[in-house]
């Protein structure tokens, strides 16, 4: 009942761990598969040396009930607002990953193993690095590759979300990987652009088999009003990092809706703020075929055993109750319910013209 086909791959359920600490090692990924995840996207693998900041790489912002107070300070009785991180891609080299990928796939042949990869884009040499990474991972049995075009904290102008913000650059990278890929290629886009459907078009034109979205949203930690220091800093300094978790669910849905409306026949993997099936359902109803989880899993024994148990049991219960036989019975059901503001009914339909004067509005309306 929960099984689904996405980019030609059979998933026993449509839930994956997103590329992040839960998928940073063979040990974690094996535990995740034993716990019931249908697939995983590995922590992003690259060819450049990586050195993370001193101190914690991720913290969690929490809300105090019945109060406007938000803080990363650990205190009882709070609700999760978001995760904030400035972690770079995997600090382990490709040579470390290659045998692990092979062993994971052999141990779990029916689970879906997606390798997240990243290189630069400013030269032919960098494009060849993307190809080298894709080939190495698929040779070890990776079922798909996900292109990290979305890491929000890169200094390099030709890497991470700086590629994802440039439709031409992301097309070139996607095309380079497609030239060597024998497995589906997913492009993970950044949410920090004006109209994400433009970047989606660039990826699809270059042959991407699916789009994953969102990566974390660029953001800063809050300042502690007592110490006048950022709640997360090194020597008093901070840099842009990524917001994930509950706070980004509605934001990521808005991005996803733009893309699934523009490309209703394409494949999308929804990411951002998912902790239970009611959250994932939003992505499915907008047209996604799979959903990925990071923050909620990090807070649940590192790989989310309880999260995946709840996702699958709640999905089965909802499908049973509604008489749905497969995800295809409800995927995209609400995609076309997101409309222009002027299409929303109001008490006096004659009195509102979408911000235009009555005359101008008629002209704009007749153009559409």
Ligand X SMILES: Cc1cc2nc3c(=O)[nH]c(=O)nc-3n(C[C@H](O)[C@H](O)[C@H](O)COP(=O)(O)O)c2cc1C
φ, ψ of residue 62 to 5 degrees: the values are: -125, 150
Tokens of 182: 């024998």
Q: Which stretch binds ligand X (CB under 6 A): 171-179, 220-228, 270-278, 342-350?
A: 270-278
How many whole angstroms separate alpha carbon 344 and alpha carbon 332?
Answer: 20
How many chain residues are in contact with ligand X, going by CB under 6 A?
A: 29
Which CB atom, from 30 or from 147, has the smaller least distance to ligand X?
Answer: 147
Which residues are bridge partners to 146 per DSSP? 116, 186
Does residue number 20 form part of the binding site for ligand X (CB under 6 A)? yes
Does residue number 152 form part of the binding site for ligand X (CB under 6 A)? no
Report the nearest approach of ligand X to the CB of residue 250 (Å).
12
Does residue number 295 form part of the binding site for ligand X (CB under 6 A)? yes
For 293, the 3-state DSSP assignment is strand
Tokens of 256: 């996803």
Cα 216 from chain centroid? 7
Between the CA of residue 206 and those of 90, 185, 368, what are the distances in Å? 26, 10, 29
Does residue number 202 form part of the binding site for ligand X (CB under 6 A)? no
Longest Cα pair distance anywhere in the chain, in angstroms? 67
Does residue number 274 form part of the binding site for ligand X (CB under 6 A)? yes
Which residue from 39, 167, 273, 287 is in contact with ligand X, where contact means CB under 6 A?
273
Q: How many CA atoms lie within 13 A of 299 on its CB side?
A: 20
Which CB atom, from 4 or from 295, has the smaller least distance to ligand X?
Answer: 295
Interface mask toward ligand X for 64-83; x: CB under 6 A: -------------------x
Tokens of 75: 């205190």
Does residue number 58 form part of the binding site for ligand X (CB under 6 A)? yes
Does residue number 294 form part of the binding site for ligand X (CB under 6 A)? yes
Report the nearest approach of ligand X to the CB of residue 149 (Å).
9
φ, ψ of residue 343 to 5 degrees: the values are: -90, -5
Does residue number 232 form part of the binding site for ligand X (CB under 6 A)? no
Write 311-317 long-range contacts (CB < 8 A, 24+): 311/13, 311/15, 311/274, 311/276, 311/277, 311/280, 312/2, 312/13, 312/15, 312/36, 314/276, 314/277, 314/278, 315/2, 315/13, 315/277, 315/280, 316/1, 316/2
Report the nearest approach of ligand X to the CB of residue 319 (Å).
23
Which residue from 4, 7, 13, 19 is in contact with ligand X, where contact means CB under 6 A?
19
Which CB atom, from 302 or from 318, has the smaller least distance to ligand X?
Answer: 302
Does residue number 85 form part of the binding site for ligand X (CB under 6 A)? yes
Does residue number 279 form part of the binding site for ligand X (CB under 6 A)? no
Does residue number 196 form part of the binding site for ligand X (CB under 6 A)? no
Select the residue whose beta carbon is closest to ligand X and give its number. Answer: 244
Does residue number 14 form part of the binding site for ligand X (CB under 6 A)? no
Are 108 and 33 within 8 A, CB to CB?
A: yes
Which residue from 216, 260, 282, 290 is in contact with ligand X, where contact means CB under 6 A?
216
Does residue number 44 form part of the binding site for ligand X (CB under 6 A)? yes
Quickly list DSSP for 149-183: ---S--S-TTSTHHHHT-HHHHHHHHHHHHHH-SS
Look at residues 24, 271, 16, 21 and name the one whose alpha carbon lies nearest to residue 143: 16
Interface mask toward ligand X for 132-151; x: CB under 6 A: ----------------x--x
Which residue from 113, 293, 308, 319 is in contact with ligand X, where contact means CB under 6 A?
293
Does residue number 184 form part of the binding site for ligand X (CB under 6 A)? no
Look at residues 213, 60, 57, 87 and name the one whose alpha carbon lies nearest to residue 150: 213
Q: Which stretch binds ligand X (CB under 6 A): 31-39, 70-78, 91-99, 292-300?
A: 292-300
Which CB atom, from 4 or from 190, has the smaller least distance to ligand X?
Answer: 190
137 is catalytic: no
How many whole angstroms separate alpha carbon 50 and alpha carbon 53?
Answer: 10
Active site members: 151
Query: What residues make contact with ligand X under the rule CB under 6 A?
Result: 18-21, 43-44, 57-58, 83, 85, 87, 89, 116, 148, 151, 188, 215-216, 244-245, 248, 271-274, 293-296
């Amino acid at each position: 009942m929960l099984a689904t086909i996405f980019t030609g791959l059979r998933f026993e359920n449509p839930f994956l761990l997103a590329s992040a600490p839960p998928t940073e090692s063979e040990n974690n990924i094996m535990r995740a598969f034993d716990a019931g995840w249908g697939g995983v996207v590995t922590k992003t693998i690259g060819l450049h040396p990586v050195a993370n900041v001193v101190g914690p790489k991720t913290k969690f912002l929490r809300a105090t009930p019945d109060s406007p107070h938000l803080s990363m300070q650990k205190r009882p009785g709070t609700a999760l607002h978001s995760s904030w991180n400035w972690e770079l891609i995997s600090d382990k080299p490709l040579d470390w990953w290659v045998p692990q990928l092979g062993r994971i796939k052999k141990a779990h042949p029916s689970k879906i193993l997606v390798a997240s990869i990243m290189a630069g884009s400013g030269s032919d040499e960098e494009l060849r690095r993307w190809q080298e990474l894709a080939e190495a991972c698929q040779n070890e049995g990776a079922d798909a590759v996900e292109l990290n075009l979305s890491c929000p904290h890169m200094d390099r102008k030709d890497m991470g979300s700086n590629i994802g913000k440039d439709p031409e650059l992301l097309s070139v990278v996607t095309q380079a990987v497609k030239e060597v890929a024998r497995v589906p290629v997913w492009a993970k886009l950044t949410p920090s652009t004006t109209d994400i459907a433009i970047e989606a078009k660039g990826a699809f034109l270059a042959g991407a088999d699916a789009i994953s979205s969102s990566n974390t949203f660029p953001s800063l930690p809050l300042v502690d009003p007592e110490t006048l220091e950022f709640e997360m800093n090194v020597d008093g300094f901070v840099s842009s990092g990524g917001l994930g978790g509950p706070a980004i669910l509605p934001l990521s849905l808005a991005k996803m809706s733009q893309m699934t409306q523009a490309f209703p026949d394409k494949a999308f993997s929804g990411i951002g703020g998912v902790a239970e099936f009611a959250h994932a359902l939003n992505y499915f109803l907008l047209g996604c075929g799979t959903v990925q989880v990071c923050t909620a899993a990090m807070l649940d024994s590192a790989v989310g055993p309880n999260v995946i148990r709840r996702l699958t049991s709640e999905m089965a219960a909802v499908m049973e109750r509604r008489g749905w036989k497969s995800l295809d019975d409800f995927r995209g059901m609400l995609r076309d319910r997101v409309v222009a503001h002027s299409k929303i009914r109001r008490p006096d339909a004659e009195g509102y013209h979408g911000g235009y004067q009555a005359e101008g509005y008629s002209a704009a309306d007749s153009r559409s």
